[in-house]
Structure 1
Amino acid sequence: MDTDNQTRVTEFLLMGFSETPEQEEGLFWLFFCTYLVTILGNSLIILAISCDSHLHTPMYLFLAILSFVDIMASSVTIPKIMANHILGSKSISYVGCMTQMYFFITFTNMDGFLLSVMAYDRYVAICCPLHYTMIIRPKLCILLVSVSWVITNLHALLHTLLMVRLTFCSNNAVYDFFCDPYAMLNISCSDTFINDLVVFTVGALIFMTPFTCIIVSYGYIFSNVWKLPSAQGIRKALSTCGSHITVVSLFYGAILGVYMHPSSTFSTYDKVATVIFTMLTPMVNPFIYSLRNRDMKEALRKLILRF
């Protein structure tokens, strides 16, 4: 390989989904509307929970934190896409790319951990209702969120440091709309074996641990729900979990499909699946939780009437 090809790149080009100006224009407005709805919807959830004292409970505390994380997760990728479109550019600096990747991994992982914490909260509420206030105490809530935050940041730091050690030669075109770790590994001219190994070991552990906790929690929930004497009781118990199950299915269905295979097979399908958990899931979360929850709808109604 010649000297030019060995030159370390100082920026990357985010190629996105399309090369044609017409399609790029349409995607810009699609991403803009998605981001606007995400910010407004999740902000309303946070404000409604903050302003309504009846919602100052662990379940809604976790929901407010999830809404905040969804806002941040969308803010990691979408504003850069829109800024590049307005400026007529596809570039992102090397430091900016690594920073974006770090926060993308952090907030994506945090989403998964919060969903598992919320599943545990629902398990205690349904299976141990008399002991709920004794188990789900404020100190435990803070501990669960803090531990999740520390783990996700350490995991993001590990992947970022491993990415920094790689060399990127003359090919600096990232075939995605942000600095996705898999798309980055595809264009590196270094040996990515260690990175792939870490993805399949540490990465799988970080993703699968919350997912396993969710499966186990709902296993206990369903086994207890079917023992309820009345059909109304069963419907009431399941209705409290319906929104959460929908979000979990959407989030993990997309994320496991993208990252549970070698980076060398990263394809257009993976880019579409990435859009689901980076843009679609944060956008629809407020609607899923508010439309299926009577207390949230009432809190949102009061909040809107204040204005």
Structure 2
Amino acid sequence: MKDAMTFEAILEDYFLNKFLREATEWSYRKVVKTFIEFNKGYILPESVTRTDVLKWRRYVLNDQGLSKRTWNNKVTHMRAIYNHAISNGMINIPDNPFNQVIVKPDIKRKKTLSGEQMKKIDLIMERKIELEDMGVNDPRPNALEPAWFWMTVIETLKYTGMRQNQLLHLRLCDIDLKLGIIELRAEGSKNHREHRVPVTARLRPRLEQLYHRAVQRGAKKGDQLFNINRFTQNKKRMTKAKNMDHPPLRAFFRRLSKECHCDVSPHRFRHTIATDLMKRPERSLNDVQMLLGHSSVAVTLEYVEANMDNLRRNLESAYAA
């Protein structure tokens, strides 16, 4: 009798055929893991019914309180691996149980960081850097350490608008300090396109510091630039050969959000720089599109938050006595 097909076996075959990014594979595994955990730790793909999926939907949206977009993202992942398993004869079911279970998402305004929030972030991180320079370190594991490294992460996101995945894919050879250019790799970009961003005067000192410290620790041209494992005091992470991945980045932003009493994320810096550039008198939509690496101006416009001050002035002018 043939052994029953497992989710792990389907995932492995799916990854073999699709050749996905490492981060994408991780997201598929995470979604499958949460579905299995919802079903008490074990369920076979062939036994899943539409009712099981609808119960999971209710749990995700009502009990966990996650967003409709998060649910739809889970559905997209699960539907893809089921389509693969069905079309390749790995499981014998008539229909994909994840068809027609998405929900219409709420359209929310893009989130930016205010000037006050930006100042608070800088003050918290600069104070942390001062304490480190004085030799004062948290005896317990602290996701904000080393602060100079994480401040470089913040300023790179703040002054370039790059995505976190693009930052993690940066290699030393992608930084041209002489020309003041950062080459963003296709494998780190959402649209799989390479593009360049400039190194501004405010970003340069910290970027140079990170680059030279990485070289001093033995980093080569083809090595990852933003790799906390070179600089951390955490012995579990002190493996120079291991690249930094998303978990340390997520842990840092969770802790920073807690310290700042507001949500801080890489994507908020991206929306903020787009909005700030469009507020300037010499604004250029093409410049913002080029900076963010969008293939369409329409996508760029989605990143720009409405200028409430201009709107207020125009309204007041229109109804002036």
Q: Taking structure 1 as the reference length, what is the TM-score of the superposition?
A: 0.23
Greater Cα radius of gyration, structure 1 or 2: 2
Looking at both structures, which has the greater relative contact order when contacts are Cα pairs under 8 Å and sequence separation is at least 6? 1
